């Protein structure tokens, strides 16, 4: 019997080769080593939409032999934010957590960099919009991956009949199905005139002036279309500028024709306004239309979702993306990354869009023309323009381009709507500006 | 042995009360990124904020007004109930406790529907009398009125039940003696009922004041602090600053601000109660 002895040199060479092979191999190999993965997903409001997520995760888990557990966490009463805060504090929790727009930056120190996931995804799916980069990138590092479920544009959802009758605007002609919008005359002035006409006819636009996101997002898009920034990208307070003054003057005129109780509106109020048939337009994702299909079909069949009006500095649409983040303290980061790649494949993205009835929006440039949006109805094609298929708008978020940690505070303290409301309710312009300036200076804390 | 027997309670309090309290004190001394000790820096920052002082003012208006009305309504209704005989009294007691028994988050949702900006049931009813529509949650005065009203509705039964128990413990002989001395209704209340209920009034007021100052759910559900922050309380603003704006140390500071004030009030009230207990 011969016995082969292993020399020290052979041992070192073999070890080095094995290590290189392990590092260079794609995750797929590691995933077969099984392991567990715990996921916290946003609990979708569309019935059945969670099932699509579960099915996609299961498909991946079966292939990779990973044991997964999914918690669907409601966004009601900020449950997701509370979960994120608790997990970041405890340095323990899910491996993947779906988080709303501002949270990747808020927890940037606790999130695993995802450049190795995002760079191939962008090559595969097309460029992501500026808001996604703004919210999920820090110093060239991707903090999170844009999630299709929950991501939304809060553009106008108009009543076809009321806009035609009272404002003389045919929204279907302006935003046709299958061809680029004819929106050259759709600007802040025509928007204001339409709002005035509809208010006069007894169907005011349903735009909130409260402190919740719908009110803030609308204010953000309008301010941005005037080039009005409270804090610029460098972090300087820029409240007292002509652009901000212009935006406030505009908002004052708009507030005059909004419902009197708009200052107390929350995110459900505008939906109810449209569904009840009392308003000619709201600025919202198509959730209000989807509920109207069930509760007020005669209203739903007159709804048309379309693009925002342009201001002097461009056409801005409020975009609110969700993200999937991987905690740096997670126990199975490589498996988490592998799953995120799977959930961001074109096929998976289309499944999300279909399951949500077109509500969920992918953040990638090549993913805005799925047939779901062209076919959903009634009326057929009502959602065609929802994902901005011809890239006519700058998808933006209120308070940007301020550094995200400052912008988050401007956003959640609703500084924009409060400032506009103060001015509209009789406060002097300079006093409202001074108040906002003081607030923004307070947000500079590090 | 006594110590061993009380140990479970001590451990429970240490875990559920002392640890969170000291942890929030610790959080309040950190910078926003929670990486540096800043001492009392967060408090000095807060003291310079206009919104903070507005929240202090509103919390005082909310808590004091609500507690006064809860105590007043509780006192009056307790007298009514006290005068209802036997079995019927039990039914009334049960019915009047309903607001206090329903979880406030649920009952406040019902109130939200009544105040709803667009579909207020109150406004609908008032419209038959040619009144309104009233912006219940859209104007500062009405929004403050609404949140206080809901708090009074929810909290008055607590006062009622405490006062009712106190009323039942006042010996009838005292009223008989007062009647013989020629005391009228008001004099019986002033010279017999109130002195006999003094301790219970002090304790319920103190407890209610603490709980009302710390209220969160009613304001959060009805107004989220609006319009223009004019209904924010310490807890709702702390949530907005700490959780929504990701500034946990500042949120901790806001929620801790009332601790010394309420602690001093508690010391005085409880000392007064125990002094009277010793005199008795």
User: CB distance B118–A269 less than 8 Å?
Assistant: yes
CA distance A197 to chain B (A): 20
Mean pLDDT of the A331-357 span: 95
pLDDT of residue A94: 96
pLDDT of residue A326: 97
Helix (H, G, I), strand (E, B) or coil at B82: helix
pLDDT of residue A24: 44
Q: Flag whether residue A412 sits within 8 Å of chain B, measured between CB atoms.
A: yes
Q: Please, which pLDDT band fits residue B52 given cuts at 50, 70 and 90? A: very high
Of B174 and A5, more confident: B174
Which of A109, A263, A278 is nearest residue B138 as measured by Cβ atoms? Answer: A263
**Cα–Cα distance measured from residue B118 to residue A97, given in angstroms and rounded to the nearest whole number:** 36
Mean pLDDT of the A117-123 span: 95
Q: Flag whether residue B81 sits within 8 Å of chain A, measured between CB atoms.
A: no
pLDDT of residue A19: 43
Which of A106, A262, A266 is nearest residue B246 as measured by Cβ atoms? Answer: A106
Helix (H, G, I), strand (E, B) or coil at B169: coil
Helix (H, G, I), strand (E, B) or coil at A215: helix
Q: Flag whether residue B139 sits within 8 Å of chain A, measured between CB atoms.
A: yes
- Chain A residues whose CB is inside 8 A of the B48 CB are 442
A407 → chain B, closest CA residue: B245
- Chain A residues whose CB is inside 8 A of the B116 CB are 272
User: Which strand (E) or helix (H) includes residue A396?
Assistant: strand A394-396
CB pairs under 8 A between A and B: 95
Which of A261, A405, A422 is nearest residue B118 as measured by Cβ atoms? Answer: A261
**Cα–Cα distance measured from residue B153 to residue B136, given in angstroms and rounded to the nearest whole number:** 16
Q: What is the ipTM of this complex?
A: 0.77
User: CB distance A264–B135 less than 8 Å?
Assistant: yes
* Most confident option among A28-37, A247-256, B135-144, B237-246: A247-256
Ranking A9-18, A303-312, A325-334, A396-405 by mean pLDDT, the lowest is A9-18
Mean pLDDT of the A23-28 span: 46
pLDDT of residue A31: 45
CA distance A310 to chain B (A): 28
Which of B32, B117, B225 is nearest residue A211 as measured by Cβ atoms? Answer: B225
pLDDT in tens, B155-213: 999 999 999 999 988 888 998 999 999 999 899 999 999 999 988 998 899 889 888 99
Q: Please, which pLDDT band fits residue A34 given cuts at 50, 70 and 90? A: low
Contact predicate A242/A227, CB 8 Å = no
A107 → chain B, closest CA residue: B246
In 3D, which of A393, A390, A374, A394 has the Cα closest to residue A382?
Answer: A374
**Cα–Cα distance measured from residue A285 to residue A231, given in angstroms and rounded to the nearest whole number:** 27
Which of A265, A269, A412 is nearest residue B240 as measured by Cβ atoms? Answer: A412
pLDDT at A82 over 70: yes
User: CB distance A261–B138 less than 8 Å?
Assistant: yes
Mean pLDDT of the A97-114 span: 94
- Establish whether the linkage from the previous residue to B264 is cis, with ω within 30° of 0: no
pLDDT at A63 over 50: yes
Neighbouring residues of A144: CB distance < 8 A, sequence distance ≥ 6: A99, A104, A111, A114, A136, A323, A324, A325, A326
Q: Please, which pLDDT band fits residue B119 given cuts at 50, 70 and 90? A: confident
pLDDT at A1 over 70: no
Which of B49, B226, B245 is nearest residue A264 as measured by Cβ atoms? Answer: B226
Could you give all domains of chain B from N- to C-terminal order, each with its CATH number? Answer: 50-103+139-279 (1.10.3720.10)
Ordered alpha helix ranges (H), A277-403: 287-295, 297-300, 333-343, 346-355, 371-375
pLDDT of residue B91: 86
Q: What are phi and psi of A360, to 5 degrees?
A: -75, 135
- Mean pLDDT of chain A, nearest integer: 91
Q: Please, which pLDDT band fits residue B147 given cuts at 50, 70 and 90? A: very high
B225 → chain A, closest CA residue: A211
Determine how β-strand A316-326 pairs with β-strand A281-283: unpaired
Mean pLDDT of the A111-132 span: 95
Ranking A14-18, A313-317, A332-336, B209-213 by mean pLDDT, the lowest is A14-18
Q: Flag whether residue B106 sits within 8 Å of chain A, measured between CB atoms.
A: no
pLDDT of residue A7: 55
pLDDT in tens, B74-106: 999 999 998 888 778 888 888 888 898 888 888
- Chain A residues whose CB is inside 8 A of the B31 CB are 445-446
pLDDT of residue B105: 86
pLDDT of residue A8: 54
CA distance A269 to chain B (A): 8
pLDDT of residue A352: 96
**Cα–Cα distance measured from residue A13 to residue A18, given in angstroms and rounded to the nearest whole number:** 9
pLDDT at A175 over 60: yes
Please name the residues between 269 and 308 in chain A that touch chain B, using a CB distance below 8 Å. Answer: 269, 272-273, 276, 278
pLDDT in tens, B221-268: 999 898 999 999 999 999 999 988 888 999 999 999 888 888 887 888
pLDDT in tens, A408-445: 999 999 999 999 999 999 999 999 999 999 999 989 98
What residues pair up with A38 in beta bridges, in sequence order? A69
User: CB distance A413–B245 less than 8 Å?
Assistant: yes
């Amino acid at each position: 019997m011969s016995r082969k002895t292993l020399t020290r040199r052979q041992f070192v060479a073999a070890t080095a080769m094995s290590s290189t092979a392990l590092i260079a191999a794609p995750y797929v190999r590691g995933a077969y080593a099984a392991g567990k993965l715990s996921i916290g997903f946003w609990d979708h409001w569309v019935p059945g939409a969670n099932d699509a997520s579960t099915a996609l995760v299961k498909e991946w888990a079966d292939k990779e032999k990973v044991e997964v557990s999914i918690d669907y966490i409601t966004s009601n009463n900020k449950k997701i934010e509370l979960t994120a805060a608790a997990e970041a504090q405890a340095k323990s929790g899910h491996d993947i957590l779906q988080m709303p727009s501002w949270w990747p930056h808020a927890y940037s120190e606790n999130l695993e960099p995802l450049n190795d996931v995002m760079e191939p995804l962008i090559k595969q799916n097309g460029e992501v919009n500026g808001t996604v980069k703004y919210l999920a990138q820090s110093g060239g590092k991707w903090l999170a991956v844009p999630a299709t479920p929950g991501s939304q544009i809060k553009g106008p959802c108009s009543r076809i009949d009321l806009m035609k009758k009272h404002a003389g605007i045919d929204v279907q002609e302006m935003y046709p199905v299958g061809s680029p919008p004819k929106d050259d005359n759709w600007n802040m002035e025509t928007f204001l005139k339409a709002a005035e006409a509809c208010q006069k006819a007894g169907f005011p636009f349903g735009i909130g002036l409260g402190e919740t996101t719908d009110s803030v997002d609308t204010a953000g898009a309008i301010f941005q279309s005037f080039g009005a920034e409270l804090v610029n990208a460098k972090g300087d307070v820029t409240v007292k500028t002509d652009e901000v003054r212009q935006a406030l003057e505009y908002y004052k005129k708009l507030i005059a024709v909004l419902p009197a109780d708009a200052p107390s509106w929350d995110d459900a109020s505008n939906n109810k306004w449209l569904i009840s048939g009392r308003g000619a337009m709201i600025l919202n994702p198509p959730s209000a239309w989807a509920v109207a299909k069930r509760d007020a079909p005669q209203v739903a069949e007159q709804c048309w979702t379309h693009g925002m009006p342009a201001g002097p500095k461009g056409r801005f649409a409020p975009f609110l993306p969700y993200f999937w983040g991987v905690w740096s303290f997670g126990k199975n980061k490589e498996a988490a990354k592998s799953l995120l790649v799977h959930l961001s494949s074109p096929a998976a993205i289309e499944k999300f869009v279909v399951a949500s009835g077109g509500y969920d929006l992918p953040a990638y440039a090549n993913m805005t023309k799925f047939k779901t949006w062209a076919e959903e109805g009634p009326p057929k094609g009502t959602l065609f323009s929802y994902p901005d298929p011809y890239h006519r708008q700058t998808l933006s978020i209120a308070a940007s381009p301020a550094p995200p940690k400052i912008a988050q505070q401007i956003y959640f303290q609703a500084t924009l709507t409060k400032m506009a409301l103060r001015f509209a309710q009789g406060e002097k312009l300079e006093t409202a500006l001074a108040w906002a300036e003081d607030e923004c200076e307070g947000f500079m804390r590090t | 042995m006594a110590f061993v027997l009380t140990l479970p309670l001590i451990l429970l309090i240490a875990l559920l009360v002392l640890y969170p309290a000291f942890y929030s004190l610790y959080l309040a001394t950190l910078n926003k990124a929670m990486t540096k000790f800043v001492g009392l820096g967060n408090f000095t920052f807060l003291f310079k904020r206009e919104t903070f002082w507005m929240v202090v003012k509103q919390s005082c208006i909310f808590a004091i007004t609500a507690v006064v009305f809860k105590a007043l309504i509780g006192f009056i209704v307790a007298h009514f109930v006290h005068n209802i005989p036997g079995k019927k009294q039990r039914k009334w007691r049960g019915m009047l406790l309903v607001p206090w028994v329903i979880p406030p988050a649920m009952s406040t949702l019902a109130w939200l529907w009544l105040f709803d900006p667009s579909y207020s049931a109150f406004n609908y009813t008032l419209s038959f009398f040619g009144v309104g529509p009233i912006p219940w949650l859209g104007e500062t005065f009405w929004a403050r009125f609404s949140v206080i009203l809901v708090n009074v509705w929810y909290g008055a039964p607590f006062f009622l039940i405490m006062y009712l128990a106190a009323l039942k413990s006042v010996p009838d002989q005292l009223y008989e003696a007062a009647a013989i001395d020629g005391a009228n209704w008001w004099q019986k209340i002033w010279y017999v009922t109130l002195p006999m209920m003094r301790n219970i009034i002090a304790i319920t007021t103190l407890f209610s004041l603490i709980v009302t100052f710390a209220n969160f759910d009613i304001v959060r559900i009805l107004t989220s602090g609006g319009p223009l922050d004019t209904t924010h309380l310490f807890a709702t603003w702390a949530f907005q600053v700490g959780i929504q704006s990701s500034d946990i140390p500042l949120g901790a500071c806001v929620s801790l601000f009332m601790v010394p004030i309420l602690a001093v009030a508690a010391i005085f009230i409880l000392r007064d109660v125990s002094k009277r207990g010793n005199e008795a």
